[in-house]
Structure 1
Amino acid sequence: MILRKEYGFEAAHFIHNHPGKCKNLHGHSYKLFVSLEGPVHPETGMIIDFDDLSKVVVEKVIQRLDHHFLNDLIPLSTAENISVWIWEQLKPALPELCQVEVFETADNCVIYRGA
């Protein structure tokens, strides 16, 4: 079974080598979807409690990215590199992690499923 939860964060960045307007400082209202895959535990009826998942995601990702300058953590802060960074923060604490989706805008998204 796959469990998926949505999060959001606001952040600024620029892409220094971009040929267009993204080379300038700008911000996005990011959407993040975190997916875990695993069995439903018979004693709880869940893969993981949504509150337990949120504690990890908020501590390891949202608190570090929300209302921050992404280039300080991810120098080439493309949606692709942001998704890899998020994966690397979450995977050690969430071994069931199977996918992260990062929406930079409502219609621009990358999906990362690990290396």
Structure 2
Amino acid sequence: MIIQKEYKFYAAHRNEELDDKCSNLHGHRYGLRCFFEVKRSGALSTLFGDFDAKIDPYLKDQYDHGMLIHTGDSLYATLQDHMQRTGERFKLKVLDGPTSVENLAHKMFTEITEMGFRLQQLEVRETDTSVVTYTRDDWDEHNRDMAAEQAAATS
């Protein structure tokens, strides 16, 4: 059985690898649509509130009104230096790769799965007309590729 839940958060980002408007710092109202695989036992499977109790606070703490940033972005080092010098703190959600919606979908799929939920699919909406659909098969493939890359790097 599939239970579907939707969430929203606001975040800034830029994709420093692009040579267009997206290389500039800007923000989005991101939308998430989660498709959870659940097992029914008795009259119900999982309460909607069980998802909200973990995911809502996590999004507020880690993502909402923060900045998505890639460790390889030169702005990351600048912001780290600024925070160290001034004591000012920014909410930075650090990604291992560019802050594309595709990379964000992988990161969020991983994080929600680590909360103990089984996702079948995750849709990440960057704008009203731009959505990435990321499936369990995509996640499994990505993780296999990453494991193979790590194995090759250590041999």
Normalised TM-score (structure 2)? 0.68
Structure 1 position 59, deviation (Å): 3.2
- Summarize deviations over 1:13-40 as a string: whole Å, max 9, x none: 0000112100000000111111111222
Q: Structure 1 residue 40 and structure 2 residue 57: aligned?
A: no
In 1, Cα distance between equivalents of 2:32 and 2:25: 21
Q: What's the counterpart of residue 7 of structure 1?
A: 7
Q: What's the counterpart of residue 59 of structure 2?
A: 61
Is the radius of gyration larger for structure 1 or structure 2?
2
- Please show how residues 80-95 of structure 1 align to structure 2 within 5 Å: 80-95=102-117
In 1, Cα distance between equivalents of 2:44 and 2:118: 13
> Aligned to 2:107, what secondary structure does the other structure show?
helix
User: Aligned pair in 2 of structure 1 residues 33, 62: CA closer, same or farther (>3 Å)?
Assistant: farther
Which sections of structure 1, spanning at least 5 residues, go unmatched? none
87-96 vs 104-113, which deviates more? 87-96
In 2, Cα distance between equivalents of 1:80 and 1:23: 16
User: Aligned pair in 2 of structure 1 residues 64, 39: CA closer, same or farther (>3 Å)?
Assistant: same
User: Aligned pair in 2 of structure 1 residues 31, 106: CA closer, same or farther (>3 Å)?
Assistant: same
Kept in 2: contact 1:61–1:86 (CA 8 A):
no
Structure 2 counterpart of 1:29, which letter? R
Which sections of structure 2, spanning at least 5 residues, go unmatched? 70-91, 141-155
Higher relative contact order (CA 8 A, sep 6+): 1
Structure 2 counterpart of 1:46, which letter? L
Q: What's the counterpart of residue 20 of structure 1?
A: 20
Identity score, percent = 30
User: Aligned pair in 2 of structure 1 residues 19, 9: CA closer, same or farther (>3 Å)?
Assistant: same
In 2, Cα distance between equivalents of 1:47 and 1:96: 13
